[in-house]
Structure formats: structure tokens, C-alpha cells
Amino acid sequence: MLRKHVVPLRGGQASQVRYRGFKIDRAALRVYRDSLSTVSEAAFKAFDRPQQMAFLINGYNAFTVELILTKYPELSSIKDLGSVLSSPWKPKWIPLLGGKVSLDDIEHGMLRERGRFDDPRVHFVVNCASIGCPPLREEAFVAERLDGQLDEQASRFMSDRTRNRFDAAAGRLEVSKIFDWYGGDFNLGHHGIASLPAFLSRYANSLADAQANRERVRDRRAEISFLPYDWKLNDAA
């Protein structure tokens, strides 16, 4: 379904989703979601680390698509499903691991739980159905290739100059608001990432054109600012 209904843009730096197509295939999506819901907590605990991560990432993305379909095509943003007093990510409507959980539970309570995975690359693979999000990948995540898929999604997102770039005129890095919201996840010292500047330095060639500016990013001397987040629906229509 992802290969069929996800449209990669700019070599995968971004993507759009054919929600109309997903709506036509909603019964097949339900079969997949039901298959996730049959996995018991004991079975999940028996998974190895990559299996658990892939399971939760795919689950988050599949249930997010389903959430959009509940009101599509009337909505223009996932935020239309919430209000000033309620968030679309907080209701516990998802049958998973023997209980009912929310999208926030999957992302923040499981994938980002301290001491469980401690992998900041998770921010480049969960998709909140918005243009500002890292792209929804055009295939499912699988344990056997998970590390490479995580690396590729990070590289794709960091190469997208609409969301991450060095502003030569201002002399600073302008990066996604994601790094403002979750900057602490890049300070855990895991996967060789000791800080947000250390992470961004890995992508100096993607973020800047001039060699001098690349060196500023690589040497962690660039001021960092955060771009506004685009919550409009990532709809291919």
C-alpha cells in the first residue's frame, strides 16, 4: 500500500500521500492494522530490538493514515481533528499490545522512551501527515534493513533545503522545528551523536553550498535557528 499510495518528491526528500487511494483500499489497511493489533505484549517483548522498532514505526504510520481517513477529504490538516483543548495525538483509540493506546503513547511513550531505543533517527521515520514532517517512506520498515532505512530517511530529510539549510546571507543554520522540540534526543550520546550540532555537522555537505559554510557547520560553529512548521496535509491531491 505504501508503494502504491506514497509519492516521493525530489528524490525522496519529501513525499505526498494519495489519501483517496488509501480510502479506496481502506479494507486492506484495516486488515494490516488488525494484524498489528493481534500481537500480544508477550510476543512483542520476544521481538529483538529492530523488530520492535519496525513494528512501532509501521504501526504509528498506519494508524495515522487511518486517523486522516476518518475525516478525509474534509480536513486540510491533522490538527483539524483536534481543538484548542484537545490533541489528535492523545485519544487512546488504537488497539495495541493488549490495550488501547494513543499515537503519543507509541511515539513518546514507546519509541522515545529513555533507555529503550534511544535513537534520535526515529524522528525521521514517524509521519504526522503534514508537509513539515519528514517524508512518509514509500515502503514499510523491516528489521533486516532497519538501520539502513533509518540512515536513508535521515539523509533524505537533511538534504531537503525547504526544511534544513544554511542561510549564507544570515550566516546561520535554519533547521526544522523538530530539532527545537526534540533537541534533547540528540544529546544522549548514542549512535555517535553527542549533541544537536554534532548531528547537524554530519550533513554539512547537504546543508550548505560554499565550502567555508560547510566547514562552519562541520566544526559546529554555526548559529542554529528553527523554521516554522507546515501543518498542512501532505495530500497528493
pLDDT tens-digit series, residues 128-155 = 999 999 999 999 999 999 999 999 999 9
* Domain assignment present for 77: yes
Nearest-CA neighbor of 135 among 107, 117, 155?
Answer: 155
- Rounded to two decimals, what is the model's pTM? 0.95
pLDDT tens track for 200-219: 999 999 999 999 999 999 99
**CA proximity to 94, closest of 30, 138, 44:** 30
94 occurs within a structural domain: yes
Using DSSP, state whether 176 is helix, strand or coil.
coil
Going by C-alpha positions, the residue among 22, 78, 34, 77 that lies closest to residue 59 is: 34
Which pLDDT score is estimated for 16?
Answer: 98
Tell me if 236 is assigned to some domain.
Answer: no
Confidence of residue 189 (pLDDT cuts 50, 70, 90): low
Say yes or no to pLDDT of 192 above 80.
no
Which 3 state secondary structure label does DSSP give 140? Answer: coil
Which position has the grid cell 528489521? 143
Q: What is the pLDDT of residue 191?
A: 60
Q: Look at residue 83 in the predicted model and tell me its pLDDT.
A: 81
CB atoms within 10 A of CB 165: 18
Helix locations, 94-210, DSSP H: 103-104, 146-158, 178-181, 196-201, 204-207
234 is a domain residue: no
Range of the structural domain that residue 193 is part of: 2-226
pLDDT, average across residues 187-196: 70
6 phi-psi bin (left φ>0, alpha ψ -120 to 50, beta other): beta
157 is a domain residue: yes
> Between vectors from CA 80 to CA 150 and to CA 72, what angle results, nearest 5°?
80
- CA 139 from chain centre, in angstroms, equals 14
Question: Looking at residues 155-180, what average pLDDT do you find?
Answer: 96
- Peptide bond before 73: cis, by omega within 30 degrees of 0? yes
Q: What is the pLDDT of residue 194?
A: 72
pLDDT-based confidence at 193, cuts 50/70/90?
A: low
Type of residue numbered 10: R
How far is residue 17 CA from its own chain's centroid? 14
Average pLDDT, the chain: 95
At residue 160, the pLDDT reads: 97
Domain count, the chain: 1
The whole-number pLDDT of residue 188 equals 65
Q: What is the pLDDT of residue 86?
A: 86
Query: What digits encode the pLDDT tens for the residues 77-120?
Result: 999 998 877 899 999 999 999 999 999 999 999 999 999 999 99
What pLDDT is stored for residue 1 in this prediction?
97
For residue 68, what pLDDT is reported?
A: 98
Q: Measuring CA to CA, how many Å separate 88 from each of 44, 70, 92, 146, 153?
A: 26, 12, 10, 28, 25
Q: Look at residue 220 and tell me if it is in a domain.
A: yes
Q: What is the mean pLDDT of residues 12-22?
A: 97
Evaluate whether residue 231 is within a structural domain.
no
Burial of 212 (0-12, 13-18, 19+ CB in 10 A): exposed
- 232 in any annotated domain: no
